[in-house]
Amino acid sequence: MCLCRAMILKGSQRGGGRLLARHLLNADSNDHVELHEIRHLAGANLHAAFQEIEAVAKGTRCKQPFFHVSFNPPQDVSLKDGHFEKAFAAVEKKMGLEDQPRAVVFHEKNGRRHAHVVWSRIDVENMRAVQLSHSHLKLGDVSLSLFREFNLEPPKGLLNKEHRNPDNFNLKTWQQAKRMGEDPRDLKKVIREAFDSAKDRKSFSENLQKHGLFLAKGDKRGFVVVHHSGEPMSLSRFAKVKAADLKAKIGNPAELPSLVAVQSNIQKNAAGAIKQRIRNLAVRHQEERLPLIRENLVMRKLNKTSRTEKKNQLSKRWKGEELARANRLRTGIIGLWDRVSGRRGKISRKNQREIEENRRRDREEKRRIIAEQIIQRQELQQRMDKLRQAQLLERKRLIKELGQSVPLKDSELQRDFREAASLEGRAQLNEKLREDVNEETEEKKRDEEAKKKSGDRKLVRKPKL
């Protein structure tokens, strides 16, 4: 099997090992987190490993001793660990990080499995940092080489940056959109379409206002778009338009109303009845999403339990097989004769072949259970996406109906929107929901155990009289 459709690579140099470890081990924003490997480091966990890298870096002038790369395959592709390992090796070779200490963490979120690899940049023998110039271009070359290696057509944006999907977004854009309860792809698409279809500043402003967005002069940026919640957004970042093109169509930023003036205007137009309508919508959307969130939490808990049981089962079997292999090697005088006759060497080679075969078998069994769970999670994610799109359309219709009358971020409504935008976090903190999840989890476990016992009884044959 080839590395299907390869994968998208994103990397950066950075410091702050404690924050990086906390981010990579964050189980709240991921369905599953697995610390896959720690190489050439004494630390038994991620925090200890990163502290070790930072301690070594103090012997140099390097302020960013980590090189963090995320490996993101397409959503509809299930890759084996070996495929990821091949991509890791390709990056190491290209960046000059071969045999450097590293840590590998796998994340599963919304039915997708991706990897994070963090290398130490510190060359211990020479006590200097490995130079990583033009890392963005080099990672692009690696990604492209993976496509070509398997005779696959790469994305157009990988060959020419001008053809990249404009709906793509970085972490900063995603975090800002999440605060507003919006999908960053939808926001970028609306703003870009409003800009492309406008002839001048007036028509652009009118296009934005149809979607509850407003054009203003920023405090730090030249042009900003103000969300109906009062959150300012960089126009160049969300519209993916160059500053020169913005100025040519919109003109001088000084001619626009200030950010404070636009926010104040939105606040004045927010009537109490309108607040109540949107508050009711946020509450209803919350109630509609809670069953799916509950189902996701139950699934996550059951899947974690299943993986833990599988891990314990594999560990127990491995120990038994290790003992059996050790017992084949005789000791004492007979063992000495085995060495002289060459019998011990044959047994050792047989044991080594067994170890490699058993490792492949265990990896395949682990991959199989992960793949099955990802398929289940993807089915749930499709339902969640369908509901999210329906709620988004409903909110857009309400915004168009109300026009500009939406409150600011200090209002009670803004808190309602933020709560509605982070329902999973609310659900996890809600004690009643936790109780429901625990009850449903225990009930499903009892049903599975009952089915298993029933199946075992069917396998037992009664003796003939």
- Condensed to tens digits (0 to 9), the pLDDT of residues 21-62 reads 999 999 888 999 999 999 999 999 999 999 999 999 999 999
3-class secondary structure, 27: coil
Please report whether residue 454 resides in a domain: no
| Confidence at residue 5, expressed as pLDDT on a 0 to 100 scale | 43
Q: How far is CA 145 from CA 9, 161, 255, 270, in A?
A: 12, 16, 49, 54
Cβ atoms of 217 and 258 within 8 Å: the answer is yes
- Average pLDDT (349-353) is 96
Same domain, 24 and 159: yes
3-class secondary structure, 85: helix
Q: Rounded distance, CA 369 to CA 57, Å?
A: 40
CA atoms lying within 13 Å on the CB side of residue 396: 14
Q: Rounded distance, CA 313 to CA 364, Å?
A: 14
Does residue 446 carry a pLDDT above 50?
yes
- Condensed to tens digits (0 to 9), the pLDDT of residues 283-294 reads 899 899 999 999
Any alpha helices (H) in 17-69, and if so which ranges? 17-24, 46-57
Structure tokens at 275: 């607040």
Cβ atoms of 10 and 135 within 8 Å: the answer is no
* Residue 373 identity: Q
CA atoms lying within 13 Å on the CB side of residue 50: 23
The segment with the largest mean pLDDT, out of 223-237, 358-372, 450-464, is 358-372
| DSSP tag of 59 | T
What is the total count of domains within the chain?
3
Residue 190: pLDDT band with limits 50, 70, 90? confident
Does residue 108 carry a pLDDT above 60?
yes
- Rounded to the nearest 10 degrees, how much is the dihedral formed by the CA atoms of 447, 451, 454, 459? -160
Same domain, 74 and 178: no
Same domain, 25 and 150: yes
4-8, 47-51, 176-180, 437-441: the lowest-pLDDT one: 4-8
Please report whether residue 441 resides in a domain: no
Residue 408: pLDDT band with limits 50, 70, 90? very low
Same domain, 279 and 193: no
- Condensed to tens digits (0 to 9), the pLDDT of residues 90-99 reads 999 999 999 9
| Confidence at residue 159, expressed as pLDDT on a 0 to 100 scale | 45
Torsion 440-445-450-455 (CA) sign: positive
Residue 407: pLDDT band with limits 50, 70, 90? very low
Q: Specify the CATH number for the domain of residue 85.
A: 3.30.930.30
* Residue 91: domain span: 8-163
Does residue 81 carry a pLDDT above 70?
yes
Same domain, 380 and 264: no
Same domain, 229 and 317: no
Q: Rounded distance, CA 294 to CA 253, Å?
A: 47
- Condensed to tens digits (0 to 9), the pLDDT of residues 197-208 reads 888 888 998 888
Does residue 74 carry a pLDDT above 70?
yes
